[in-house]
Amino acid sequence: MRILVGAKRVVDANVKVRVKADNSNVDIEHSKMSLNPFDENAIEEASKLKEAGIATEIIAVSIGNAKCIDTLRTALARGCDRAILVETNEVIEPLFVAKIFKEIVLKEKPDLILLGKQAIDDDANQVGQMLAGMLDYPQSTFISSLEIIDGKIRTVREIDNGTETLEVTLPAVLTADLYLNEPRFIKLPQLMLAKKKIIETIQLTDLNIEQRPTTRLLKAVDGEIKKKCTFIDSVDELVDILKVNKVI
C-alpha cells in the first residue's frame, strides 16, 4: 500500500495570531511555524502502517513557499519516505489545494490519501472531502481509529453524538482527528536520516491548474474579546449568581 499524506506549514498552535494595524489581514510574518498538528497524526498513522508491514511507501506533500522544505523535513523525520513541494508564494484556497492534490494523486497513484481533518490556520476542514468528491473516492473523515481487514480499511469516525464505523475500499481519502494516535517524539537520528531523503520541487505554475479566487478577504479584526472578571470568594455568592442567571 502506498500512502500520500498532507504536510501543511502553519503558524504554531501556541502562537497568538494578531491582525495587521490596517485590518487588511493577519500578521504572521515573524511567527513560529510548525507542521499542522492534524497532519502529524496523519503521518504518525501512515508510519505505523509502514512499521506493521502494510504500507510500502509514504509520500508527503506540502503546498506553499520554499520554507515548506522545513516542514517536509519534519514529515520525513516522522517516517515519510520522500516528499513533494508544490511551490508557490500565493495563498492557496482549499478548493485549489484539493485540485493540486488531485493532480499529484493522478501522477503518483497512491492507494490511500491521509490528510488532517483541518488546518489550524484557516480552520476550513474542507480539503479531504473536496478531493474525495473530485476523484469520486470514498471518504472517511475525522477518524479516531483505523484497522485493515481483508484489504479494506475499517475506520471509526468521531461524529456529533458518538462514533460511526465505516469500511472503505481503496483507493480512499481519510482525514485524521487528533485522537487517532499520539505522534511520536522525533530524535536526532531520524532528523539526520531525513536530510538524506529526497524532496522534489514542482512549481505550481508548471501544473496545469487554473486558479481563480473564490473569496475576497475584506477585513480582519482581533477575535479575542476579554471580559471584566468579578472575583467572588464563597459558594453562597456562586449560588446567588446562578439564581440571578436563572440556572436555579
Partner 1 sequence: MKILVITPKIENSINTNLLHVFDAVTQLSGKCDVLVLGYQLDDLANQIAKYKVVTQVLKLDNVALEHILVENIAKQIAEITKKYTHVLVAADSFGKNLLPRVAGILELGQISEVSKIISPNIYQKFIYAGNVLIEVESVEDIKLLTIRTSNFMENTQLSETSALITTIEYTNAISDKIKFVTNKVEEKAVDLSSAKVVVTGGRSLGSADAFDSHIRALAKHLSAGVGATRAAVEAGYVHNDCQVGQTGKVVAPNVYLAFGVSGAVQHIAGMKDSRTVIAVNIDQTAPIFEHANYGMVADLFEVIPQLLHALHK
Ligand X SMILES: Nc1ncnc2c1ncn2[C@@H]1O[C@H](COP(=O)(O)O)[C@@H](O)[C@H]1O
Q: Which 69-98 positions form the footprint of ligand X (CB under 6 A)?
A: 92, 94, 97
The span of 25-33, 58-66, 166-174, 197-205 binding ligand X (CB under 6 A) equals 58-66
Residues 21-50, one symbol each (x = binds ligand X by CB under 6 A, - = not), give: ---------------x-xx-----------
- CA torsion sign for 123, 125, 128, 129 is negative
- Taking CB under 8 A as the criterion, the residue among 132, 143, 180, 194 binding partner 1 is 132
C-alpha angle 229-233-234 in degrees, rounded to nearest 5: 125
Nearer to ligand X, 1 or 62 (CB): 62
Q: Which does 116 bind (CB under 5 to 8 A by kind): ligand X, ligand FAD, partner 1, none?
A: ligand X
CA-CA distances (angstroms) from residue 152 to 6, 52, 133, 138, 166?
21, 15, 20, 12, 10
> Does the footprint of partner 1 cover residue 144 (CB under 8 A)?
yes
Half-sphere exposure of 15 (CA within 13 A, CB side): 18
The rounded distance, in Å, linking the Cα atoms of 2 and 109 is: 8
Q: Which set of grid coordinates corresponds to residue 211?
A: 486558479
Q: Which 56-95 positions form the footprint of partner 1 (CB under 8 A)?
A: 93-95
Q: Which 103-132 positions form the footprint of ligand FAD (CB under 6 A)?
A: 120
> Does the footprint of ligand X cover residue 143 (CB under 6 A)?
no
The CB-of-14 to ligand FAD minimum distance in angstroms stands at 8
> Does the footprint of ligand FAD cover residue 13 (CB under 6 A)?
yes
Nearer to ligand X, 39 or 156 (CB): 39
> Does the footprint of ligand X cover residue 63 (CB under 6 A)?
yes
Q: Which set of grid coordinates corresponds to residue 43?
A: 503521518
Identify which of 45, 41, 37, 43 has the alpha carbon closest to the alpha carbon of residue 61: 43
Q: Which set of grid coordinates corresponds to residue 106?
A: 493522478
The CB-of-32 to partner 1 minimum distance in angstroms stands at 13
The CB-of-120 to ligand FAD minimum distance in angstroms stands at 5
The CB-of-65 to ligand FAD minimum distance in angstroms stands at 22
CA-CA distances (angstroms) from residue 40 to 43, 78, 161, 182, 238?
5, 8, 26, 9, 42
CA-CA distances (angstroms) from residue 169 to 53, 99, 111?
19, 22, 10
The CB-of-116 to ligand FAD minimum distance in angstroms stands at 9
